[in-house]
Structure 1
Amino acid sequence: MDFKLVTSTFQSLTQNMQIMKYLLASSAVVILFLIYIRTYLRSVYLALKLPGPKALPIIGNVLFLNDDREMEHLGNKAHELYGSFMRFWVSFLPCIVVHEPRHLNIILGTNRYSRKNIFYTLLHNFLGQGLITNNGYAWKKNRKMIQSLFHTNIQEIFIETFQDCAEAFVSKLNGLTDVKITALVNDCVLDILHNAILGVPLDKNSPYRKGQVILNDRLTKPWLLLETIFSRTTSAQKEIEQKTNLHSYTKKILLERRKGTRSGKCFLDMFIEIANNNLEFTDEDIINEIVTFMLAGQDSLGSAVAFTLFHLAKYHDIQNRVLKEISDYEEGTKLSNKELFGMKYLEQVIKETLRLAPSVPIFARVLTEDVVLDDVEFPRGTNIFISPFLTHRHPQIYPDPLKFDPDRFSTENVENRHPFAYLPFSLGPRKCIGYQFALMEMKTIIFTILKKYELSLVPGHEEYTLTYRTTLRAKGGIWIRLKARK
């Protein structure tokens, strides 16, 4: 046998195999690129057919995000201006706003047609990879493991924490008359989260005091959506530093609670129990979920409570009706599920507040299949934006939509309305896991302040101007006049 011939043949085969591997890999990349281009072009074609606000070259409609008055005008008038679907552009990326309840039912009702889209990856450095930002198996695994912790019977153990923190908040109001309530409410909410989730009291050095989302900044400057550009900015470095601080702080507390050096019961303890019984739920999962709960619960709950206090201060007949509902409970009464569930009208006031000022005014999905809505075909890969703010102001669903009317949420009115007409906590399988926890927390804070003070508006601050960031806020904060009850 000619050894040189065998060697040459082997080398030739090896080279041919390497070439084949290269060709296959290249073909796969080309095919994926063509699929992406086809998907993108189908979405562009759909967007060009649908109505929407005038877009500027290159940047599209992103300047709307910085124009609070235009955003509110759009939220109030989009139904009559553009109908059931409105398109807008984030630079060259087409997005479709869907706001009719019957369409939201299809998109959000199951996990079949949609998942979180690419914009949520921009929140990974801020929120971590928890339930809000994750997709697929990671989301299903963690959601299934955590779900049972949010049963109302389990959450009842935290009502005492809610009340202790609410009473500490109200004590800070002693001697005050005209108060910019927003910052104090935010501190109260953060105090509750620290105690209920982390099992530690709030201190001035907590990194959770300093959380700052820069998603809007990236959306309004589309070149920052490119990671290669954004990673070179000071904002990116601050975001990474913030993530490191949050995760290090949370990990430190996690290790302390594992060693038993901290007392009391909190969600972190429950997460540790889950991890002890299931190796798939790792310390990294615990930290990501804890960071998500801590950050997601701050601004959203703080703004919801502040807006509710504003409406109670503005409408004294509504405030008096709530006061009558809670009149059987003395100031300082230890609350339980029974008392909180009994505050039906207060819950209606909170829900009406979240209708007009939903804490998260917009969220996003991407279609995983072609979907037909009212004879319009939405191709797979289309970015769908869902706006509770827009749906909640639909005049055919909520007549006289700008009027504050808690009776919209009476049992009879709710039963006669489409179930997807109200979604401040989203709906479907990805509905906010902690929405009942949030309602109990809000009721406790508002109950505590109403038992102590009569609320009214401060002259010159009779209205608020909404500002649209990741969460909805009142520009300049909310001012309340306090008068101690006799």
Structure 2
Amino acid sequence: MESVQSFFVLCISILVTALVLKQAKKWLLGHLRMSSAMKNVPGPDTFPILGNALDFIIRPQNQYLNEIERITKAHHPLFRLWNGPFLCTVHTSSWKYAEKIFNNSVHIEKYMFYEFLQPWLGTGLLTSTGDKWHSRRKLLTPGFHRAVLDSTHDVITEKSAQLIEILESKGKASQAFDIAPLIWQCSLDIICETAMGTKMNLQSEIRQRNVAYTEAVKEAMSSFVRRCVRPWLHPKIIHDLSPTGRKFNKCVKIMHNFTDKVIKTRKEEYSKLLRASMDNGDGKAHEARAINTKRKAFLDILIEAAYPEGYEKKPILSDEDIREEVSTFMFEGHDTTASAIAWTLYLLGHHPDIQEKVFEEVERVFGSNLVATSEKVSELRLLERCIKESLRLYPSVPFIGRKLKEDLNLGEYTIPSNTGVFVLIYFLHRDPEIFPQPEKFNPDNFLPQACEKRPPYAYVPFSAGPRNCIGQKFAMIEEKIVLSHILKNFRIESIDKPQDLKVLIDVIIRAEDGIKIRLHPRM
């Protein structure tokens, strides 16, 4: 009997060893092929073992953008970077190469760095791929139908009015201050009520947990970038034991506590409304699914998908499934939008002539009553061009990384499958051949005749192709309404000059010291 057991142990050991060796051989052949291909791709000189990672490790994070700019100018439109001895990525600032990435349903998988966000966002819409991404995208798309978006105007208007009340005290003081945290708080308040269906009153009732959530998001993004540029932090076990990992995981706990509260509140409301509806009807769950006849929130869609046969049945989507989509959309839905609003204010504050023209447009469209409708919002054409120009200069998401699923020719170079390719949106938007005077704030870049002449992938603040941002229309509506309220009530004066700003490239682009402005009441 003992000899038989020994024989089986030996067979299993041989099988495991063979599988390990097979995988090791596959990895080695892939690495050798990738290394050979990367020899032909231009890029900065490398250091032993660390590759190009040392160029970033020795610098503070507020200099990362300057370093990437230096490399981009030296090697436009394509260059490679070695992150340690085994990991090499390709980076492009060319719309022609970006088109080959975005306009291809094969290359929709996010690069491995996005896996570092999974403890926070799980495998939600941002980080998932394959069948899961397709099914979730299809499930959530109805939540962004025009009728649903139109129904959010009242909430955005209400939250914008609350923001104005907070800003009035700042205007009376006539002192410079950082407006970014207040914009972030307003945007989070909006996303909780419009997309999650949960009235949080974050602005009117500032609580420590709300401030903690926004601070945790900021810290988590910084920790994410720190991990990306340090190859020894890539393995999860090492990262989690490091100070960076401990800080990141602490932030994740804070953010999950916040999103869990949002989900719990809405699920309790769902349960009450569903049961009340069933008690008054014939007991058919499918007749009681629409829990909000005025507006079905993003979270409602997830809850209904989880309980297709009724709340008393076992859910199809787990609490974790719901949380990862809620975490993803609360992050992407408030942080990116708030960034766009803050940067637009900053740029308008440096261009008082354009700012006054936008103010006149807001006055003409709304008159004395800032009640938003889809028709009025669509008439804010100059403001929309200003927002788009702001997103050109300071795109909320400055870089996007994809993992190639098959070999791809970019110009004279063949980039092998499994290589990470990053589209540098921040620099793509500053291509002087596409945007003359690329550093200048010029809303005329988005006049219809200018847009018609421009290649479609030369401006991609919301990504493009099959994986474009699902919430971009919602973002534009929110940005227009919030900005209209601010500009109608105040004249904006920006303090820091563009050359003095320290721009941080986290997942979301932001100014290290905030967006400092001075408010001048209009009445």
Aligned match for 2:91, one of 88, 91, 97: 97
Shift of 1:255: 3.5
Shift of 1:77: 5.6
**Distance 1:234-1:428 versus aligned 2 partners, 3 A rule:** same
Shift of 1:308: 0.5
Confirm whether residue 44 of structure 1 aligns to residue 35 of structure 2: yes
1:150-169 CA distances to partner (integer Å, 9 max, x unpaired)? 12221121121111111111
Contact 1:52 1:82 in 2 (8 A): yes
Aligned-partner Cα distance in 1 for 2:418–2:498? 45
**Distance 1:461-1:31 versus aligned 2 partners, 3 A rule:** closer
**Distance 1:17-1:97 versus aligned 2 partners, 3 A rule:** same
Shift of 1:303: 2.2
Shift of 1:462: 8.6
Structure 1 portions without partners, runs of 5+? 1-6
Aligned match for 1:56, one of 47, 60, 68: 47
Name the counterpart of 2:199: 200
Shift of 1:78: 5.0
Confirm whether residue 117 of structure 1 aligns to residue 116 of structure 2: no
**Distance 1:405-1:463 versus aligned 2 partners, 3 A rule:** farther
| Mapping of residues 366-385 of structure 1, within 5 Å | 366-385=403-422
Aligned match for 2:449, one of 412, 418, 421: 412
1:1-54 CA distances to partner (integer Å, 9 max, x unpaired)? xxxxxx99xx76x86666555434432322222222222222222222222223
Aligned-partner Cα distance in 2 for 1:322–1:168? 22
What is the DSSP-based 3-state SS (H/G/I as helix, E as strand, rest coil) of the residue aligned with 2:128? coil
Name the counterpart of 1:137: 131
1:354-379 CA distances to partner (integer Å, 9 max, x unpaired)? 11111111121111101122232111
Question: What one-letter code is carried by the residue in structure 2 that aligns with 1:208?
Answer: Y
Contact 2:406 2:418 in 1 (8 A): yes
What is the DSSP-based 3-state SS (H/G/I as helix, E as strand, rest coil) of the residue aligned with 1:52? coil
Aligned-partner Cα distance in 2 for 1:186–1:53? 37
Shift of 1:196: 2.1
Aligned-partner Cα distance in 1 for 2:237–2:62? 33
Shift of 1:193: 2.0
1:464-486 CA distances to partner (integer Å, 9 max, x unpaired)? 33222222111311222222113
Name the counterpart of 2:233: 224
**Distance 1:380-1:236 versus aligned 2 partners, 3 A rule:** same
Contact 2:91 2:423 in 1 (8 A): yes
Aligned-partner Cα distance in 2 for 1:224–1:376? 30
Name the counterpart of 2:308: 277
Aligned-partner Cα distance in 1 for 2:304–2:368? 36
Name the counterpart of 1:314: 350
Aligned-partner Cα distance in 2 for 1:116–1:302? 24
Question: What one-letter code is carried by the residue in structure 2 that aligns with 1:340?
Answer: V
Contact 2:306 2:316 in 1 (8 A): yes
Contact 1:75 1:393 in 2 (8 A): no
**Distance 1:53-1:269 versus aligned 2 partners, 3 A rule:** same
Contact 1:99 1:390 in 2 (8 A): yes
| Mapping of residues 182-261 of structure 1, within 5 Å | 182-198=180-196, 199-201=198-200, 202=202, 203-204=206-207, 205-206=209-210, 208-209=213-214, 210-211=216-217, 212-213=219-220, 214-260=223-269
1:172-195 CA distances to partner (integer Å, 9 max, x unpaired)? 121232332122212211221222
Aligned-partner Cα distance in 2 for 1:344–1:144? 31
Structure 2 portions without partners, runs of 5+? 274-290, 310-314
What is the DSSP-based 3-state SS (H/G/I as helix, E as strand, rest coil) of the residue aligned with 1:390? helix
Name the counterpart of 2:101: 107
**Distance 1:407-1:118 versus aligned 2 partners, 3 A rule:** same
Aligned-partner Cα distance in 1 for 2:146–2:51? 45
> What's the RMSD between the two structures over aligned residues?
2.6
Contact 2:224 2:248 in 1 (8 A): no
**Distance 1:387-1:232 versus aligned 2 partners, 3 A rule:** same
**Distance 1:85-1:54 versus aligned 2 partners, 3 A rule:** same
Shift of 1:69: 7.1
Aligned-partner Cα distance in 2 for 1:401–1:75? 17
Shift of 1:239: 3.3
Question: What one-letter code is carried by the residue in structure 2 that aligns with 1:138?
Answer: K
Shift of 1:247: 3.1
Question: What one-letter code is carried by the residue in structure 1 that aligns with 2:300?
Answer: D
Confirm whether residue 173 of structure 1 aligns to residue 158 of structure 2: no
Aligned-partner Cα distance in 1 for 2:173–2:47? 49
Name the counterpart of 1:32: 23
Question: What one-letter code is carried by the residue in structure 2 that aligns with 1:141?
Answer: S
Shift of 1:391: 0.6
TM-score normalised by length of structure 2: 0.84
Moved more, 89-98 or 273-282: 273-282
Aligned-partner Cα distance in 2 for 1:463–1:87? 29
Contact 2:307 2:316 in 1 (8 A): no
Aligned-partner Cα distance in 1 for 2:347–2:98? 29
TM-score normalised by length of structure 1: 0.90
What is the DSSP-based 3-state SS (H/G/I as helix, E as strand, rest coil) of the residue aligned with 2:79? strand
What is the DSSP-based 3-state SS (H/G/I as helix, E as strand, rest coil) of the residue aligned with 1:116? coil
Aligned-partner Cα distance in 1 for 2:118–2:41? 32
Question: What one-letter code is carried by the residue in structure 2 that aligns with 1:57?
Answer: P
Question: What one-letter code is carried by the residue in structure 2 that aligns with 1:190?
Answer: L
Aligned-partner Cα distance in 2 for 1:142–1:155? 19
Shift of 1:408: 0.8
Name the counterpart of 1:84: 77
**Distance 1:477-1:380 versus aligned 2 partners, 3 A rule:** same
Contact 1:108 1:427 in 2 (8 A): yes
**Distance 1:114-1:16 versus aligned 2 partners, 3 A rule:** farther
